[in-house]
Structure 1
Amino acid sequence: MSITSTDSPSPVSPETDRPVPLRRQRDYRLLWSARAVSETGSEVARLAVPLTAATLLTASPIEMGLLTAASTVPFLLVGLPSGALADRVARRRPVMVACEAFAGLAVLSVPAAWLGGLLTIPWLIAVALVVGVCTVVFRSFNTPHLMSVVAPSQRTTALAGFQSVFSVAEMCGPSLAGLLVTLLTAPIAIVVNAVTFLASALCLKGIRAPEHGTRGSGRGILREIAEGVSVLMKHGALRALCATGMLVNFLGAAQLALYVLFAVRVLGLPGALVGVTATGFGVGGLLGAVLASRLARRFGENRVLLGSVLFFPVGFVTTAAAGGPFWLVVCQLVAAEVITGVAVVCYSVCAGAVTMRESPAELLGRVNATTNFATQGVMAPGGVLGGLLGASLGLRPALWVCAAAALLIIPCLWLSPIRRGARPASAAGSPSTARRPRSGRAAARR
């Protein structure tokens, strides 16, 4: 038997009257597979695209900066309107399929242009913009769509499953990218990303769960955007989650701007080992994805959120304090990345579940898009500030400034309604339904 209401969209076992495990649900397997292939391909392109620009097109530093910015600018340009559009349409899946298909065709144009002798830096920037817009729109539509596929009691587990995909892609993607670039050259390796986008579109198209969105009233997109912003600003828990994500991403971008230089110039690590230490974040993320849903079932999402932010400063402090023998430095940096990965993924999973639980269903797309707009938008100024601090204070002192500022993350969440609503899951009922007055690195991820 199937439950087709928006509150319980997943199949229910007739013997136990409980939702069937996600691994046995065809629609969730297709949704999970779509993310798995798409994220793996994106990790390949993350290395292959800049290598194409740097080695084949001899891009200047300014052109490399524009190419990097092109992938994040769409969050500021279309982030808020895409959330309003997500709440306007009754069916979101066709839009998600179109986003993956357009992104795949745009990426496929890179090797085609290279083979035809037409590839230029502006071409790469245009492709990055198209893919970036598709990514933003996809994210805005994905969260409301998930509510049509997964039952409320399984949403935390579903989000944890997606986070495991991201973590595995972060661990294995760079190695796969390096192998493909070596064997095929950078432009041809990008074909893998195009194929994965198209494969993701096919997986999404195969999902059969009925959608129950409601069409918007057409009152004007600016007014609808303002409604989403208003809900986020007036709801204490959602506002606290957004502020925490902004602070974590801002400081994370500042640290990232300094990390490679610090590891190479101050700690004396070779470039290969810097990459090895960075894989610790993927390992920690995979561990966090395994733990997040289990901890949420036992303690409730709010308590997991409160616990996870206690570990954010640990990663910053461990990195800033790294020093000593060669082997100890590597262990310190890997430990910092693992700790950060576990904390970030646990936070992201539970923040996503709380956002779906607390947001009015008809405004979820706009609330999610507003959160993405805010948490992603602060990364550019965070990176600039990190560079300025490193230039004026030195690399290690600048990292200590980031570590000290990271302590603000704790009261940002602990002084919010998240703490007042922190009840054990056993006392509050299902962690996904306990409260409903109707979340690179901590930001919402696609």
Structure 2
Amino acid sequence: MARTETTADPAAAAASPGVARRRDLNLYWTGQTTSAFGSVFTTIALPVVAVVTLKASPGEIGLIGAAATAPVLLLGFPLGALADRISRPRRALILLDLLSALAAATVALTLFLHAVSVLWLVALCVVMSGGSTLSASVYFLHLRQLVGTEGIGAARARLQAGTYGAALAGRLLSGPAIAVLGAGTALTVDVASYLVSAAALLAMRSPDRVERGPAPSVVQMARGAAAGLNAFRGDAFRRALGVFIVVPVAALAGVTTLTGPFLLRTVHLPTAAYGSVFALSGLMGLAGSTVAGRALAPGRDARRVMLGAFSAAMLCSLLLPLAAGPLPLAAACAALGIGTPVFFGAIANVAVSSVLVSGMSEEVLGRAMSAMQVCAALAGLAGSLGGGVLGDHFGVRGALWVLGLAALAAIAATLPPALRAADRARRAEEAEAAAARTAEPAAAAK
């Protein structure tokens, strides 16, 4: 009897962490999915408020878009260094959820009181962007804490699939909800979703502690910024990757700035149908996340997958300015122009996670991710402001063509050297793995 009990106990002890891990990952999925559902309501509501309620010009809409990226540019490096010192990632995510809920609730109140202005929309974008800048780095730290380095790709694909599925439902419901109940109600849905996300994080049971050093000083933050940039400068493929991140982000930021005015003023899409045009993007994102799991199967080169997906996303973005003619045809073309880049972008996002997160040490991961965010934010800021300026001078449709063609040209020029760098990195990894396999029998013989 004693021997039977002794044999069973280790199995139960070994199974328990796995069960707890799956439970916490399910809770994380629930929180992230619910938050994504609510965020779509705010994403759809803001351009409707700006264009329809406030009659904002393309330049003012560009200012709102720039407000969503400026905090990343100004605070990205310090927050990245701070992320590498956070000893309780889950607690930080809970606080950030609560901060976002408070910001959305405040602007919802101004809508209910008919006191909203462009300044309020700018303030909301600033607060939420600052919070998401920190949470983006902490997100990966917490995810690796839950599933380990080897499980990042599969867990990220699952989380992203849930996010896109929730976004699909949100886009189908947000337009009619805004038309019937108003934009203030839409932001209230987002508030509730942040609270659900915080509750899911609170319900987790796995340990939430990472051994960290003391809080960074200003000098250490500056050094952290340099370390984050060096993580990209020191690798040929990551240098090429910078172009594939920065150029599409700049172009798509400009396109996003102009999409609301284009659909509501140029295509003359009814407000109630505005969210439905984005519904295809949720479905495409869900499909892209599913395809990414297969495309990144063992033995596949995540670098090539990422480069191809980014290139295809930029090519498909040219479908949006083609939207013209009868309203059903124009709406369908616009939906494809919005949705197909999301399909390829979903594949690229999962591939980026696999390439960067698995290839960097935990000590520099937060700073490297923040460096990427800052560079992307600078590109997004330029794209948002540039899109507004181009829209004011060349019209919305003309500006969309300029942004798409310029980005595609930059990607086409960078693709050949990026592919060569990816091949060199792949060969180096294979050589290193072969050397390790050869060394193992020799070490065992000794």
Tell me whether the two structures share a fold, i.e. TM-score over 0.5: yes
Name the structure 2 match of 1:293: 293
Against the structure 1 CA distance between its residues 105 and 265, is the aligned structure 2 distance closer, same or farther, given a 3 Å change threshold? closer
Structure 1 residues 129-177: Cα deviation after superposition (integer angstroms, max 9, x where no partner):
3333222221121112211011333211222223223323443323322
Query: How many angstroms does 1:28 deviate by?
Result: 0.9
Query: How many angstroms does 1:198 deviate by?
Result: 1.3
Name the structure 2 match of 1:231: 231
Name the structure 2 match of 1:205: 202
Name the structure 1 match of 2:373: 372
Structure 1 residues 35-56: Cα deviation after superposition (integer angstroms, max 9, x where no partner):
1111111111233456567777
Matches within 5 A, 1:361-400: 361-389=362-390, 398-400=399-401
Query: How many angstroms does 1:310 deviate by?
Result: 4.0
Name the structure 2 match of 1:444: none
Q: How far apart, in 1, do the equivalents of 2:140 and 2:24 lie?
A: 15
* Structure 2 residue 92 is the aligned partner of structure 1 residue 90: no
Query: Is 1:306–1:414's contact at 8 Å kept on the other side of the alignment?
Result: no
Query: How many angstroms does 1:414 deviate by?
Result: 4.2
Against the structure 1 CA distance between its residues 13 and 51, is the aligned structure 2 distance closer, same or farther, given a 3 Å change threshold? farther
Against the structure 1 CA distance between its residues 381 and 49, is the aligned structure 2 distance closer, same or farther, given a 3 Å change threshold? closer
* Structure 2 residue 316 is the aligned partner of structure 1 residue 308: no
Structure 1 range deviating more: 43-52 or 231-240: 43-52
Query: Is 1:313–1:407's contact at 8 Å kept on the other side of the alignment?
Result: no
Against the structure 1 CA distance between its residues 414 and 280, is the aligned structure 2 distance closer, same or farther, given a 3 Å change threshold? farther
RMSD: 3.9
Query: Is 1:258–1:390's contact at 8 Å kept on the other side of the alignment?
Result: yes
Q: How far apart, in 2, do the equivalents of 1:183 and 1:397 lie?
A: 33
Matches within 5 A, 1:107-118: 107-111=104-108
Structure 1 range deviating more: 382-391 or 198-207: 382-391
Matches within 5 A, 1:253-264: 253-259=253-259
3-state SS, counterpart of residue 378 of structure 1: helix
Name the structure 2 match of 1:419: 423
2:87 partner letter:
A
Matches within 5 A, 1:88-237: 88-111=85-108, 119-121=115-117, 125-211=122-208, 213-216=210-213, 218=216, 220-237=220-237
Unaligned runs of 5+ in 1: 1-11, 430-446
Query: Is 1:43–1:170's contact at 8 Å kept on the other side of the alignment?
Result: yes
Q: How far apart, in 2, do the equivalents of 1:208 and 1:339 lie?
A: 39
Name the structure 2 match of 1:408: 410
* Structure 2 residue 283 is the aligned partner of structure 1 residue 283: yes
Q: How far apart, in 2, do the equivalents of 1:198 and 1:373 lie?
A: 28
Query: How many angstroms does 1:344 deviate by?
Result: 0.7
Query: Is 1:320–1:403's contact at 8 Å kept on the other side of the alignment?
Result: no
Q: Comparing both structures, which one devotes a greater share of its residues to helix?
A: 2
Q: How far apart, in 2, do the equivalents of 1:342 and 1:13 lie?
A: 42
2:309 partner letter:
S
- What is the TM-score when the length of structure 2 is the normalising length? 0.78
2:279 partner letter:
T
Name the structure 2 match of 1:6: none
Query: How many angstroms does 1:194 deviate by?
Result: 1.3
Structure 1 residues 389-446: Cα deviation after superposition (integer angstroms, max 9, x where no partner):
45656666654444443143245354233233347x99999xxxxxxxxxxxxxxxxx
3-state SS, counterpart of residue 385 of structure 2: helix
Against the structure 1 CA distance between its residues 169 and 13, is the aligned structure 2 distance closer, same or farther, given a 3 Å change threshold? farther
Name the structure 1 match of 2:241: 241
Query: Is 1:312–1:343's contact at 8 Å kept on the other side of the alignment?
Result: yes
Name the structure 1 match of 2:32: 35
Query: How many angstroms does 1:197 deviate by?
Result: 0.9
3-state SS, counterpart of residue 34 of structure 1: helix
Q: How far apart, in 1, do the equivalents of 2:96 and 2:381 lie?
A: 25
Query: How many angstroms does 1:353 deviate by?
Result: 1.6
Query: How many angstroms does 1:199 deviate by?
Result: 1.2
2:350 partner letter:
V
Against the structure 1 CA distance between its residues 80 and 131, is the aligned structure 2 distance closer, same or farther, given a 3 Å change threshold? same
1:304 partner letter:
V
Against the structure 1 CA distance between its residues 307 and 67, is the aligned structure 2 distance closer, same or farther, given a 3 Å change threshold? closer
Query: How many angstroms does 1:200 deviate by?
Result: 0.6
% same residue:
27
Structure 1 residues 270-326: Cα deviation after superposition (integer angstroms, max 9, x where no partner):
446775444332222111011101110152322321332342343144445566787
Q: How far apart, in 2, do the equivalents of 1:26 and 1:189 lie?
A: 30
Against the structure 1 CA distance between its residues 21 and 408, is the aligned structure 2 distance closer, same or farther, given a 3 Å change threshold? farther
2:224 partner letter:
E
Query: Is 1:308–1:343's contact at 8 Å kept on the other side of the alignment?
Result: yes
Query: Is 1:83–1:368's contact at 8 Å kept on the other side of the alignment?
Result: yes
Structure 1 range deviating more: 83-92 or 273-282: 273-282
Structure 1 residues 10-57: Cα deviation after superposition (integer angstroms, max 9, x where no partner):
xx999x99x9699x811111111111111111111233456567777x
Against the structure 1 CA distance between its residues 131 and 290, is the aligned structure 2 distance closer, same or farther, given a 3 Å change threshold? same
Structure whose CA Rg is larger:
2
Name the structure 1 match of 2:5: none
Against the structure 1 CA distance between its residues 208 and 395, is the aligned structure 2 distance closer, same or farther, given a 3 Å change threshold? same
Query: How many angstroms does 1:366 deviate by?
Result: 0.8
Unaligned runs of 5+ in 2: 1-9, 434-446
Structure 1 range deviating more: 99-108 or 253-262: 253-262
Name the structure 2 match of 1:357: 358
Query: Is 1:214–1:362's contact at 8 Å kept on the other side of the alignment?
Result: no
Against the structure 1 CA distance between its residues 13 and 289, is the aligned structure 2 distance closer, same or farther, given a 3 Å change threshold? farther
Q: How far apart, in 2, do the equivalents of 1:212 and 1:190 lie?
A: 33
How many correspondences in the alignment? 412
Query: Is 1:163–1:289's contact at 8 Å kept on the other side of the alignment?
Result: yes
Structure 1 range deviating more: 239-248 or 405-414: 405-414
Structure 1 range deviating more: 120-129 or 75-84: 120-129
Query: How many angstroms does 1:373 deviate by?
Result: 1.4
- What is the TM-score when the length of structure 1 is the normalising length? 0.78
Against the structure 1 CA distance between its residues 414 and 96, is the aligned structure 2 distance closer, same or farther, given a 3 Å change threshold? farther
1:293 partner letter:
G
Name the structure 2 match of 1:8: none
Structure 1 residues 320-352: Cα deviation after superposition (integer angstroms, max 9, x where no partner):
556678766555444444431221110011101
